[in-house]
Amino acid sequence: GAVVSQHPSWVICKSGTSVKIECRSLDFQATTMFWYRQFPKQSLMLMATSNEGSKATYEQGVEKDKFLINHASLTLSTLTVTSAHPEDSSFYICSAHLTSPGEQYFGPGTRLTVT
């Protein structure tokens, strides 16, 4: 299957700082990537759809100015959590979409802890 990497795998930051998470498709090109957030014992929550060369599409209730997404190439999308607060602590997971039949391959996730 297709391989997606994420970096870093975990990060601890102080409240008010910004954190950047990278998502890379290693062996295929992905025009579309997705960013999810998952709190403990809860289901995946789609945050935004990232399209190469265009602005991301955010789900309702997700602040686009707080969660900055950049998809500058066909293999790299980044999520920047700006002015992080403790409530932003979560497991952030990216996925890359294959056009047919539409499966997603997930990165290993990034565990963010904001102190």
Residue 8 binds other proteins, judged by CB under 8 A:
no
Q: Which stretch binds other proteins (CB under 8 A): 12-20, 41-49, 68-76, 80-88?
A: 41-49
Outline where DSSP puts E strands in the chain.
Answer: 4-7, 10-13, 19-25, 32-38, 45-51, 57-58, 67-73, 76-81, 90-97, 104-106, 110-114
Candidates 32, 70, 80, 82; binder of other proteins (CB under 8 A) is 32
Shortest distance (Å) from residue 6 CB to other proteins: 8
Cis upstream peptide for 101 (omega within 30°): yes
Residue 106 binds other proteins, judged by CB under 8 A:
yes
Greatest Cα pair distance, the chain, in angstroms, is 41
Residue 93 binds other proteins, judged by CB under 8 A:
yes
Cis upstream peptide for 108 (omega within 30°): no
Shortest distance (Å) from residue 48 CB to other proteins: 12
Q: Which residues bind other proteins (CB under 8 A)?
A: 1, 32, 43-44, 46, 49, 91, 93, 97, 101-109
